Homo-oligomer: A and B are copies of this chain.
């Protein structure tokens, strides 16, 4: 493919997201309006890929998900880091390590910005795939739920992993997301948090558990597509073996869930790999749910920062382009 003659600078942003959504482990995520990562990509003649992190708590270079995402975009465009000089700067907006798909937002914004700088050679599915490869830097294995939601906005569902097929669905009207970020609710090595939370999952489930999970997935999609918030919430609460394995690592989790549902939440589960917890709620109920979640965590001896968020319809987008 033809390379840009003059240097091109593209800044793109991508929103935070909540992965798994309870019943769709590794398969779905919802973009939320908590924050956006901003990635600046400069492409010019030369060679080499550099990634600089403007946030001292987030590593630059190969350990940043933007690096893996950029390499994958180059490869899918028929290029490599020896064909072109790519300089990336990452400005974090999404707090890392709390279950809001922070590393996925970076990977999504980086893939999107670089693709744009190269003249958009990749399809949406290829972009998701490239961002997923970047995300593997943080999560250990490539998975596509967070990056798909950060790229597409709304609710992204991975309807096939190999070959990758992703569908974007509109979040329903009037839905709020209560997110609780517990501090010190769980002892995990911060940097490898996602790997740790994957490590506690069983390798096998019973056939009946698998059928149960499929029925929850079906209820989720029916609820989402028919705008039936009750059904959507019920489905989100059905986390099966994944929730069972991870829930016991988060101090106070089951009591938090019970109290949130009692206070009007439509559904409650673990956000992404945890330890954050999210609840879906109707507009009128979100405040009460937030209060119930904060109280229940406090009674378990855990301080939790609780926010009321909205589904974010806008995925990755160009913020500025100079060429």
* A binding-site residues for B, Cβ under 8 Å: 23-28, 157-161, 165, 167, 169, 201-207, 209-222, 225-226, 231, 234-235, 241
A311 to B211: give the CA distance in the assembly, Å: 24
Q: Contacts A213-B214, A214-B217 given; 19 further ones with Cβ under 8 A?
A: A25-B214, A26-B211, A27-B214, A157-B222, A158-B218, A159-B216, A159-B222, A159-B235, A160-B234, A165-B231, A203-B206, A204-B205, A204-B207, A205-B205, A207-B241, A209-B210, A210-B213, A213-B213, A221-B225
A169 to B221: give the CA distance in the assembly, Å: 12
Contact of A225 among B209, B210, B225 (CB under 8 A): B225
Contacts of A203 in B (CB 8 A): 206-207
Chain B nearest CB, measured from A29 CB (Å):
13
Residue of B nearest to A26 (CB): B211
A-B pairs, top 6 by smallest CB distance, nearest first, are A159-B219, A221-B221, A210-B210, A214-B217, A204-B204, A225-B225
Chain B nearest CB, measured from A101 CB (Å):
18
Contacts of A217 in B (CB 8 A): 214, 217-218, 221
Contact between B160 and A215, CB atoms less than 8 A apart: yes
A218 to B223: give the CA distance in the assembly, Å: 12
Q: Contacts A218-B24, A219-B160 given; indicate if A207 touches B205 (C-beta within 8 A).
A: yes
Chain B nearest CB, measured from A228 CB (Å):
9
A169 to B219: give the CA distance in the assembly, Å: 12
Contacts of A201 in B (CB 8 A): 207
Chain B nearest CB, measured from A44 CB (Å):
40
Contacts of A160 in B (CB 8 A): 215-216, 219, 234
Contacts of A221 in B (CB 8 A): 217-218, 221-222, 225
Chain B nearest CB, measured from A136 CB (Å):
16
A165 to B161: give the CA distance in the assembly, Å: 28
A219 to B209: give the CA distance in the assembly, Å: 19
Contact between A215 and B159, CB atoms less than 8 A apart: yes
Residue of B nearest to A162 (CB): B212
A288 to B26: give the CA distance in the assembly, Å: 38
A159 to B160: give the CA distance in the assembly, Å: 20
Contacts of A212 in B (CB 8 A): 161
User: What are 9 of the A-B contact pairs (CB < 8 Å)?
Assistant: A27-B215, A157-B222, A158-B218, A161-B215, A165-B231, A203-B206, A205-B205, A213-B214, A225-B225
Chain B nearest CB, measured from A217 CB (Å):
4
A159 to B215: give the CA distance in the assembly, Å: 5
A218 to B203: give the CA distance in the assembly, Å: 22
Contacts of A235 in B (CB 8 A): 159
Contact between A202 and B213, CB atoms less than 8 A apart: no
A206 to B231: give the CA distance in the assembly, Å: 27
Contact between B157 and A218, CB atoms less than 8 A apart: yes
A220 to B217: give the CA distance in the assembly, Å: 11
A161 to B165: give the CA distance in the assembly, Å: 28
A270 to B188: give the CA distance in the assembly, Å: 46
A217 to B159: give the CA distance in the assembly, Å: 8
